[in-house]
Structure 1
Amino acid sequence: MGAERFLGCRVDRKSGEDEDDDFSLEGFHQDLDDEQEDSISDDDCGGEAEERRIYWESQHLLLQEIVEQYNAVGRKVREEMKRQIEIARESSRSTLCLRRAVVNQLCSKGLNAALCFSHWKPTHNTPAGWHEYIEVRVNTQGKKKQIGFVVEVGFREEFRMAKASEEYKKLIKQVPEMYIGKWEHMKAIIRLLCEAAKKSAEEQNIHIGPWRNKTFMQMKWSPSSSSSSSSSSNHLPPTFKVA
């Protein structure tokens, strides 16, 4: 952050005078000014440190609450999908191949899975982009209506930054490595992490790219910007219903 400043006590003495002789009033006033500036600087640093601590603690608590809500929905189907994804991972050499292998594996188990592509045009603040992810249509308990589960096999990696602050690094460790859940929970996580990434960049005094902003990141998995490439016509068997 700011460079450290060493302040010494300066006394102007006339040549040949003893220690008890008067020192210059100009030097005395300057010393008082320096002490006051030093006191104000210490207060400012202390206030900034406390503000920073409160900010990061609040973000950890908010993210923890969101993740707990995420974990509470569709626990059984999530665990089954994780098992099938690990099976598909054994035969895949890249993330691109993995997504296709996961869709095939999930469909073979009766899950209504599809490979989706999100794409969007550039705006004044957001560059154009595209992303590939998986969506699984899941039956709700006791209802015929299905809900969409977004599946991102490398979700945590999407938020890593090379020059992030230590607090930001600790924060993203709370993020699920693999996301399998509702779009609403994902959207809340993205919003929180993008704000935290901006705060981290400010603390590190570095520029953050437009591909790190909330709008860009949310467009990656936004249903409104996506199209499905393939899916299974099968619906979920009774054992794969969301509680």
Structure 2
Amino acid sequence: MDLAMLVTDFLENGGTGGADSRASSDSDSALSDHLADNISIYKQGGDEKENELLSMVHSLLFSIHESDLLAFKRGQCSASCIRHLLVKLLRYSGYDAAVCVSKWQGFDKIPGGDHEYIDVIMNSDTEYRLIIDIDFRSHFEIARAVDSYDSLLNSLPVVYVGTLPRLKQFLHVMVDAAKWSLKQNSMPLPPWRSLPYLQAKWHSKYERIDLHIEQDFHSTASDHALCIGHLKRLKSSLQSELDTERLLMMPIKTDMKRRAKFERRRRRSLLSF
């Protein structure tokens, strides 16, 4: 059963009792596993350039100090401070990076809005660009989420770095997951978590903003408490994500070493004949 059928089956049959309830529970589990598998596949779907940029972004974010945020003018302090600093560091590293601001008008039941993210032009001739969103998981937070939805949410990249098509794959999965979670609490999907609204954030017309940091040499940490808190949470989440990935890779590396050792022994035994 493919993803669309799993979602449809759950939304139509979830919440019944008896044997139907057991069948619904099986469908629920199958859908959760399917969504988790898709997220895992999409996380590994980046090419060499995407992976190199992702590694660079991680390193640069860890290099940002709280004191760096104090250079921003008071009242300007938000996650935007971190984005502008990251763009500055990316440019120092040779990347054509910029803060982008997208805006869109409301349509049907979808509200209008705006969104700020980073892009990196990888090829000026083809306008091949990669998207960087430093607060990726926040776009999918929902009320009264079931445990399995929270697990899916926490399996998403802390910072998204990649192409628009791969980003769209994550959006499809998380919208289906949100519908599935909210259905269990008899709650509708809010417009700001719908696929059209989420797509509008990165697919709408945008403007690349000139890098201009208006400095304030008299500001203090208390003036930038919100942004400093955001930076701390971002670094903590990133570190947790990297630690988890290392733990998951350890059995694979151990198994590869074991196989290599076995192969060397096998070759020596063959040569001894």
Both structures adopt the same fold (TM-score exceeding 0.5): yes
* Corresponding residue of 1:106: 90
* Corresponding residue of 2:269: none
The Cα shift of 1:231 comes to: 6.3
* Corresponding residue of 2:177: 196
* Corresponding residue of 1:171: 152
Counterpart pick for 2:25 among 49, 67, 72? 49
Aligned mates of 2:45, 2:195 — CA distance in 1: 21
* Corresponding residue of 1:37: none
* Corresponding residue of 1:182: 163
The Cα shift of 1:99 comes to: 1.0
The Cα shift of 1:74 comes to: 2.4
Contact 1:106 1:113 in 2 (8 A): yes
Specify whether residues 206 and 104 from structure 1 end up closer, same or farther in structure 2 by C-alpha distance, changes over 3 A only: same
The Cα shift of 1:173 comes to: 1.5
Counterpart pick for 2:118 among 134, 143, 148? 134
Give the SS at the match of 2:100.
strand
In structure 2, give the amino acid aligned to 1:215.
P
Aligned mates of 1:89, 1:169 — CA distance in 2: 30
The Cα shift of 1:207 comes to: 3.1
Pairing 1:69-108 to 2, within 5 Å after superposition: 69-70=45-46, 74-88=50-64, 90=66, 91-92=68-69, 94-108=78-92
Aligned mates of 2:39, 2:176 — CA distance in 1: 12
The Cα shift of 1:216 comes to: 0.4
Give the SS at the match of 2:132.
strand
In structure 1, give the amino acid aligned to 2:96.
N
* Corresponding residue of 2:104: 120
Contact 2:42 2:170 in 1 (8 A): yes
Give the SS at the match of 1:80.
helix
1:164-217 Cα shifts (integer Å, max 9, x gaps): 111111111211000111111111101110111111111122233100001101
Specify whether residues 97 and 87 from structure 1 end up closer, same or farther in structure 2 by C-alpha distance, changes over 3 A only: same
Counterpart pick for 1:156 among 134, 137, 141? 137
Instruction: Answer yes or no: is 1:227 the counterpart of 2:207.
Output: yes
The Cα shift of 1:157 comes to: 2.0
In structure 2, give the amino acid aligned to 1:121.
Q
The Cα shift of 1:220 comes to: 0.8
Give the gaps of 5 or more residues in structure 2. 1-15, 70-76, 213-273
Aligned mates of 2:133, 2:114 — CA distance in 1: 14
The Cα shift of 1:146 comes to: 5.3
Aligned mates of 2:65, 2:194 — CA distance in 1: 30
Give the SS at the match of 1:149.
strand
Contact 2:53 2:161 in 1 (8 A): no
Instruction: Answer yes or no: is 1:205 the counterpart of 2:186.
Output: yes
Aligned mates of 2:37, 2:133 — CA distance in 1: 23
Larger Rg: 1
Specify whether residues 41 and 156 from structure 1 end up closer, same or farther in structure 2 by C-alpha distance, changes over 3 A only: closer
Instruction: Output the TM-score relative to the length of structure 2.
Output: 0.64
Give the gaps of 5 or more residues in structure 1. 1-39, 233-243
Q: Judging by fraction of residues, say which structure has more helix.
A: 2
Contact 1:85 1:105 in 2 (8 A): no
Give the SS at the match of 1:205.
coil
Give the root-mean-square deviation of aligned CA atoms: 2.3
The Cα shift of 1:53 comes to: 1.1
In structure 1, give the amino acid aligned to 2:45.
Q
Instruction: Answer yes or no: is 1:58 the counterpart of 2:34.
Output: yes
Contact 1:136 1:149 in 2 (8 A): yes
Contact 1:88 1:105 in 2 (8 A): no
